[in-house]
């Protein structure tokens, strides 16, 4: 996210959430994103869709 200059609030707004904490809980593994949310986030980080985003994150704690 840092290299794309995205904040948690940017992502929250893009997926229709008002709280940065919603994204934080998901990035820290406390909760999971919906596939529909990942489909919105993927192009923001340069990936085509949620499947590519999931594949890119396999073996990582977080996608950067």
What confidence tens digit (pLDDT) does each residue in 5-60 have?
999 999 999 999 999 999 999 999 999 999 999 999 999 999 999 999 999 888 66
Residue 59: per-residue pLDDT: 64
Residue 55 near residue 47 (C-beta atoms within 8 A) = no
Residue 14: per-residue pLDDT: 98
Residue 55: per-residue pLDDT: 92
Q: Residue 61 above 90 pLDDT?
A: no
pTM, rounded to two decimals: 0.83
Residue 58: per-residue pLDDT: 84
Under CATH, which architecture does the 2-57 domain have? Orthogonal Bundle (1.10)
C-alpha 50/C-alpha 41 separation (Å) is: 8
């Amino acid at each position: 996210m840092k290299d794309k200059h995205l904040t948690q609030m940017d992502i929250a707004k893009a997926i229709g959430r008002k709280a940065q904490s919603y994204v934080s809980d998901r990035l820290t593994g406390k909760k999971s994103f919906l596939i529909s949310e990942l489909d919105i986030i993927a192009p923001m980080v340069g990936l085509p869709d949620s499947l590519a985003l999931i594949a890119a994150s396999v073996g990582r704690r977080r996608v950067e």
